[in-house]
Amino acid sequence: MINFKILIFIIFFVVEFVPKFNEAHPVSEEVADLVARLSPAVVNVFTTQENKSSSSQPRNQSPSPFDNIPPQFKDFFENLPPGFPFNNPNQNRDQNKPAPQALGSGFVIDKTGYIVTNQHVIAQANEIKVKFQNDKELKAKLIGQDKLTDLALLKVESKDDLPYVNFADSDKARVGHSVIAIGNPFGLGGTVTSGIISAFNRDINSGPYDSFIQTDASINKGNSGGPLFNIKGDVVGINSAIFSPTGGSVGIGFSIPANLAKPIIEQLKKYGKTQRGWLGVRIQEITPDIAKSLGLKKEEGVLISMVNPGEPAEKAGIQAGDVIIEFNKKKIKDVRSLQRIVAESAVSSSANVKVWRNKKLKNLTVKLGELEAFNNVAQSEEKNGNSNQSKAEIEIEKVGIRVKNIDQDLRTQYRIPSEINGAIITGVKNNSFAFAAGIKVGDVILQISQTNVKNAEDVEKILKKSINQNSESVLIQLFSNGFPRFVPLKLK
């Protein structure tokens, strides 16, 4: 016998719920609505650049940090295949005219027309244009750029207020959070891909402030400079590089975190350049052996290997051999954390520094300088001093080395930073004292026996004096493999 109550319930269920299965998936609708709201603020960035084959002008800008990253980490700044939007496949065009290229993406951050993109997207550009989703094109002015973080700020003029997006607090993002990338891969503007945040704090050796967000959202050449949105529609990162053995997306992309980008963008908007805090020291990681020798209970902080004369650290009493444990009450875990914290500190501000010296903690106060101002002075001194530098090598046969003053060619060849000065090793004799000490070609001598070295003549003078005084050895400070280090050099 049929139970009429059950039958009525079944009929009600079929009538009430089955039609809903034919409706669109609610999550898909939410994402589609989100994309429709965000897309108008995302732009294609394309430029005209001087034809490389016809250019007779030397490149006078320092290289982008992305010039030296490992080959499997691809930036997106490459010519696109013929036939894609903004590309000119006509092989017979005038080779002396600038070539239009579809280079990347960007996004509007306020209604007046400020646009964020990657620095390498607009590097060496003669003219910059942006194209909106409604095909509106506007000429863009470069407000400022920062090679160290690969960020650039553009400005367009529009009669009407422009759609814009906001930055997220990227420190609140978590691994597994959903993200959406919108950009211009291969010149195909308005492309939307999605994924999750895969990891944080990735270092791909592109620069001193590497702290990338890793994502599996599909991003390719042309997405560079475009936004990575969280599910709320705020920009959590700026897409900048991919890990790619093949050249295409394999699900490992890297984005500059919003919280790293925001202060840089504000500085570019206010000053047209960055203004980073500057200590004036060379630093290195704490190894287990170093920690043990210094009496540290664990591998914490960073070791000061050199203090630049006359710079803020020296004026504050910081010494070579000190270990910076805290900076403005923030624990220092490693070299990169100190670099970032100092760089984000205001120029001319006073910072409290806690150092470990002689197995005791010591508190110091340092008034920070400006990194960019230091670099400009160093470059100017180097430029003015080049004409007076000796081109000849000096051989110190007793220890088995040849040294030479650093000129621009040697600086470029051995990737010596502009702030490093001294004398470069151009030859090391086999089975010599220098060879036994591990000194090699390309090392720069900074100090000998705690005396600063300015040029090759200083090296010759100090070493010959030590040899004449019948010294057993001298302590040499070298700049080697990107870091200063001390080496004992036997003289007999």
Residues tagged active-site: 120, 150, 224
Nearest to 488 by CA among 469, 475, 472, 470: 475
For residue 11, the surrounding DSSP H or E stretch is: helix 4-17
Q: Kindly list the distances between the CA atom of residue 419 and the CA atoms of 213, 445, 452, 457, 482, in Å, as whole numbers in the listed order.
A: 30, 13, 14, 20, 12
On the 0-12 / 13-18 / 19+ scale of CB atoms within 10 A, 122 is buried
Token pair in block for residue 40: 């108008």
**CA-CA distance, 415 to 122, in Å (whole number)?**
24
Q: How far is CA 156 from CA 92, 115, 137, 141, in A?
A: 33, 8, 10, 6
CB 355 within 8 A of CB 325: yes
SS3 85: coil
Contact between 203 and 209 under an 8 Å Cβ cutoff? The reply is no
CA angle 132, 136, 141 (to 5 degrees): 75
Question: Which residues have C-beta within 8 Å of that of residue 289, sequence separation ≥ 6?
Answer: none
For 161-302, where are the alpha helices, taking DSSP H only? 258-271, 288-294
Lookup: tokens for 234: 């705020």
Nearest to 477 by CA among 486, 467, 465, 468: 486
Report the SS3 class of residue 193.
Answer: strand
> What is the helix (H) or strand (E) element at residue 53, kind and residue range?
none
Amino acid at 429: K
